[in-house]
A and B are shown apart, each in its own frame.
Chain A
Amino acid sequence: MSPPLALSRSVSQPPPRQPDRLTPSPTAPPRPPEKLRTLGLRAWHGKTEVLKGVSLQLLERRVTAIIGPSGCGKSTFLRCLNRLHEVVPGTRVEGKVLLGGVDIYERGTDPARVRGRVGMVFQKPNPFPTLSIRGNVLAGLRLQRSSVRDADELVERSLRQAALWHEVKDLLGRSGSSLSGGQQQRLCIARALALRPEVLLMDEPCSALDPIATAHIEELIRELGESYTTVVVTHNLQQAARVSHDTAFFYLGELIEHAETDALLTKPRHQKTEDYITGRFG
């Protein structure tokens, strides 16, 4: 009789996996066209280099999640995509951000127009407290001094797109801050959508919300992702799995891995990604 062997086996560590390049599967459907691309994007806060040459392609009508530990440059990257980073004194940006093939940092480009084309939703819902719900939806347009031919139609369309219309259609004159946290966040999304953006950026849009409000926003992100190129910064891996097509992992200001979310969360190609998503970073 052979002796039982298994208990005497010792558990060894696997050999380190070498990083390799992303290669699309030959059976994968064709990828959508490019919407946004960064080339060697670098950003500084004072003397600290926060982004160290990030080149990343974002595809049309895809949701891309940006993940990584705190301080890795996720939010800075997002804010560089619509020229918000530069509004903070002492900051600096180098490199290119091509929106539809044209660099948004090109001399003579109006940052306000860029921010209309690339909308942003922040971590904490921030409706204008003195404005009504209707006024909040139209606030971006008013700030840009854009004329609105049919404001009522625009308000309704934006609120419908943000899945808020049925809840507020009879309350349009009320203050935006009278809404719940989740509703306020959807109001902020409606405000961004009213500008008819080409790209929607969301910086941890659910981190201040309860699970039900989070589920509403996640459903909304999935729906909006069918029409808009969407980039979502999140600390929640499961949220990235639920809402995004692609995921980019940042670490210490560098892009480590960019892949389809299903692949990145089940079989990451880089050891740093594996270590981060399995909780092995100290």
Chain B
Amino acid sequence: MTGRRTDLEYERELRKLREQLLLMGAKVEELIASSVKALVDRDDALARRLLVLDDDIDHLERETDELCSKILAKRQPVASDLRAITTAMKMVTELERIGDLCVNLCERVIELGSDPSADALGGLPELAERVQQMLRSSLDAYVARDATGAREVIAQDRTVDEAYARLSRRLLGAMLQGPSEVSRGLRLQSIAKTLERIGDHATNLAEMVIFMVDGEDVRHLGHSGGSPATSDDTERSRR
């Protein structure tokens, strides 16, 4: 955009929307990072404290949706403004679901208690680091309106899917060694799946950034090799 907008109030509304989305993104990033720390440190007290943080994210989702509706009704936006607003409405949904998945993760951490030790977590911390990086890069691409950066995020989803598949096979092998391994194995498997789904949501965010910047819809083109995250595959219903 080159020129200064004539309607300054409209400009302020759009700026507020961007800031609100970034605030929500920051809270989700923080929640993931803390959830992973609770997992790696075997800190179920931290995991319990994190459960309530999701409420903030839910609240921000409602506020952002309301702001988008108001702008649509008042301004009837077109072109890049329209894409920015419709994208924001979808992005908050993705971020809210990531928040829900973090709660799933914390619940599994609480169930695990002190079992197993950090050494037995296999590749989970590495997988967690990758999906955190994907989310961070998606939000960076949103801020910088960087479609190229967003495409790089999408390319990373395949790596995450492959890492998840390897981890999943390893956990299955461990569970086959005896019934005593099954309970722990299932919980670790659930955590791995949760992280993989967060990667899918980060990919969705990156696809939305590309649409916002270039007006190009790259969804469902099979670039990621994995299935897109949907509402019915989250382990718990939306909060």
Scoring A1, A237, A265 by chain B CB atoms within 10 A of each residue's CB, the highest score goes to A1
Contact B18 A11 (CB under 8 A): yes
Contact B139 A279 (CB under 8 A): no
With a cutoff of 8 Å between Cβ atoms, the chain B residues found around residue A237 in the complex are 76, 78
Bound together, the chains give a CA A52 to CA B3 distance in angstroms of 24
- Which A-chain residue is minimally distant from B28 (CB atoms)? A6
Secondary structure dominating the interface of A = loop
Hey, what's the 0/1 contact readout for A215-229 against B, CB within 8 Å counting as 1? 000000000000000
Bound together, the chains give a CA A237 to CA B145 distance in angstroms of 26
Tell yes or no: B26 within 8 A of A by CB. Answer: yes
Contact B143 A2 (CB under 8 A): no
- Which B-chain residue is minimally distant from A280 (CB atoms)? B3
The one of B4, B7, B10, B78 in contact with A277, judged by C-beta atoms closer than 8 angstroms, is B78
The one of B29, B82, B144 in contact with A5, judged by C-beta atoms closer than 8 angstroms, is B29
**A256 → chain B closest CB, angstroms:** 13
Contact A278 B83 (CB under 8 A): no
Contact B3 A1 (CB under 8 A): no
With a cutoff of 8 Å between Cβ atoms, the chain A residues found around residue B23 in the complex are 6-7
Contact B3 A4 (CB under 8 A): no
Tell yes or no: A271 within 8 A of B by CB. Answer: yes
> Which of the segments A12-20, A22-30, A32-40, A205-213 contacts the partner chain?
A12-20
The one of A5, A6, A7, A282 in contact with B3, judged by C-beta atoms closer than 8 angstroms, is A282
User: A residues 245-282 with Cβ under 8 Å of B?
Assistant: 265-268, 271, 273-275, 277-282
With a cutoff of 8 Å between Cβ atoms, the chain B residues found around residue A14 in the complex are 1, 145, 213
Hey, what's the 0/1 contact readout for B62-102 against A, CB within 8 Å counting as 1? 00000000000000111111110000000000000000000
Contact B79 A281 (CB under 8 A): no
Contact A277 B79 (CB under 8 A): yes
With a cutoff of 8 Å between Cβ atoms, the chain B residues found around residue A147 in the complex are none
With a cutoff of 8 Å between Cβ atoms, the chain A residues found around residue B140 in the complex are 5, 9
**A248 → chain B closest CB, angstroms:** 15
Contact A280 B143 (CB under 8 A): no
- Which A-chain residue is minimally distant from B147 (CB atoms)? A14
Hey, what's the 0/1 contact readout for B13-26 against A, CB within 8 Å counting as 1? 00100100011011
Residue ranges of B at the interface with A (Cβ–Cβ < 8 Å): 1-7, 10, 15, 18, 22-23, 25-27, 29-30, 33-34, 36-37, 76-83, 132, 136, 139-140, 143-145, 213, 215
Known A1-B33, A2-B132, A5-B136; 18 more pairs at CB < 8 Å: A3-B33, A4-B29, A4-B30, A6-B22, A6-B26, A12-B143, A14-B1, A16-B2, A237-B76, A265-B78, A266-B79, A266-B82, A274-B79, A275-B2, A277-B78, A278-B79, A279-B7, A279-B10
- In order of increasing CB-CB distance, the 9 nearest A-B pairs are A267-B215, A280-B3, A6-B26, A9-B143, A14-B145, A6-B25, A2-B33, A4-B26, A4-B30
